[in-house]
Each structure stands twice: as structure tokens, then as C-alpha cells.
Amino acid sequence: MNWLPVVVAMAVCIIIVMIRVFIGPGAPTRLVAFDTLNTLVVAGLVIVGKMFNHALFVDVAIVYALLSFTMTLYVAKYIQGDKF
């Protein structure tokens, strides 16, 4: 299978999200953009795993997604102003 269109589409999405992370109007918007970027990284790891037929990339993607979700919860709570 030709993976070039998939890689180009992921790169375009990552560039768009990175622009939103840097010029977002506020902290909540930047947090959502950063979470979207983490989701794209997880999807990229799964695609790389499929490209090279290695299940290890999928395992790493699952752990990364769990850590990303936890980080998003803590940062959102910090932005809101509540104590941990």
C-alpha cells in the first residue's frame, strides 16, 4: 500500500494544530489543540505500526494515549483553578 497520502494528510493536520497551539486566543483553546495534537501522535504511531508491521508501536500508542489523557485532566483542572 502507498503510505504517502496518509503521511501527507497527517503532516497537514499536525501543522494546522500546531498553529492553533501557538496562536490560540486563550489557555483552554491551546489545551484542546494540544490534546488534538496528542491524538494525532497516537494515530501516527498506529499508522507507523501498520506500515512496518510492528505491534510494539500500537502498545506505545496506547500508553501514550493514557498519559496524554491524564495530563489533559490535570492541566484542565489547573486552568480552572481547583486544587488537586
pLDDT in tens, 26-82: 988 999 999 999 999 999 999 999 999 999 999 999 999 999 999 999 988 888 887
Cell of 42: 497516537
Give this prediction's pTM: 0.88
* pLDDT reading at 3 higher than 80: yes
CA distance 5 to 36: 20
Range of the domain at 33: 4-80
As for how many domains the chain has, the answer is 1
